[in-house]
Amino acid sequence: MSDKRIKIVEKIFDANDRLAQQNRQRFDDSNTFAINLMASPGAGKTTFILATINAMLDSNVRIGVIEGDTAPVTIDSDKIAAAGMPAIQVNTGGQCHMDALMVESALEQLSLEELDLVIVENVGNLICPASFDLGTHSKIVIASVPEGDDKPYKYPNIYRGLDVLIINKIDLLPYLDFDMDYFRQGVEMLNPGLETFALSSKTGEGLESWLTWLKNKLPQ
């Protein structure tokens, strides 16, 4: 019945990608470095952000945090606010990921000009956030060792297109059968030469090299 076929060839995520590009421009204009932090639930995203904030308190770096959650809870953003940094809570309304539009509306509530660094804590999920560019400069994944060493093989997409990998909770290594070589080989297949920091957000072990990397990215 149809009498015409129209060729389109348009990326399904085009609208999001264009908005992400605008967000990136806003970050650039205010000289703010932006990070999209992704991980499964409980990998330690909030603890890692708090450890980073606390370690940088003396350096006058001003950090804003955008907290994405699937429900209207403020547990994570309250912790950030208690650490003395502006935190914006974004409720994704049940969605499994954040998108560029949510970040754009969060930016309305942040004084970007006054910030050197913005960290977006994405929804705890290893699959969906990988598909949505938010307009940040760096995409970072936290893998925590209790999750197991086979995650790169099971969730390959999240490890591709990444800029930094954090291996968190290394203080727990003695209690787990986590084969670091097997884990790293999987990551290497997906993202050769990926910048990786193994650390504990709890004890602070290994945090120093991560902070050095971060400070080099911040406006001088």
Ligand X SMILES: Nc1nc2c(ncn2[C@@H]2O[C@H](COP(=O)(O)OP(=O)(O)OP(=O)(O)O)[C@@H](O)[C@H]2O)c(=O)[nH]1
Q: Report the alpha-carbon distance of residue 197 to residue 195 in Å, rounded.
A: 7
User: Which of 46-54, 155-163, 172-180, 183-191 is the region at the interface with Mg ion (rule: CB under 5 A)?
Assistant: 46-54
Q: Report the alpha-carbon distance of residue 30 to residue 23 in Å, rounded.
A: 11
Question: Within positions 50 to 89, which residues make up the interface with other proteins, using CB under 8 A?
Answer: none
Per-residue x/- track, 133-172, ligand X (CB under 6 A): -----------------------------------xx-xx
> What is the residue whose two structure tokens read 């990136």?
24
Q: Report the alpha-carbon distance of residue 61 to residue 116 in Å, rounded.
A: 6
Q: How far is the CB of 106 from other proteins (least distance, A)?
A: 17
Give yes or no for a contact between 130 and 161, defined as CB atoms under 8 angstroms apart: yes
Which residue's CB comes closest to ligand X? Answer: 124
Residue 46 in the binding site for Mg ion (CB under 5 A): yes
> What is the residue whose two structure tokens read 């639930």?
41
Helix (H), strand (E) at residue 50: helix 45-55
Q: How far is the CB of 71 from ligand X (least distance, A)?
A: 11
Residue 45 in the binding site for Mg ion (CB under 5 A): yes
Residue 122 in the binding site for other proteins (CB under 8 A): no
For residues 163 and 188, which CB has a smaller minimum distance to other proteins in the complex? 188
Give yes or no for a contact between 135 and 83, defined as CB atoms under 8 angstroms apart: no
Q: Out of 99, 116, 133, 147, which residue is the one contacting other proteins (CB under 8 A)?
A: 99
Give yes or no for a contact between 143 and 168, defined as CB atoms under 8 angstroms apart: yes
Residue 195 in the binding site for other proteins (CB under 8 A): no
For residues 19 and 199, which CB has a smaller minimum distance to Mg ion in the complex? 199
Question: Within positions 140 to 159, which residues make up the interface with other proteins, using CB under 8 A?
Answer: 152-154, 156-157
Classify burial at 66, counting beta carbons within 10 Å of its beta carbon; exposed 0-12, middle 13-18, buried 19 or more: buried
- For residue 197, the one-letter residue type is F
Q: Out of 38, 43, 130, 143, which residue is the one contacting ligand X (CB under 6 A)?
A: 43
Q: Out of 16, 27, 76, 129, which residue is the one contacting Mg ion (CB under 5 A)?
A: 76
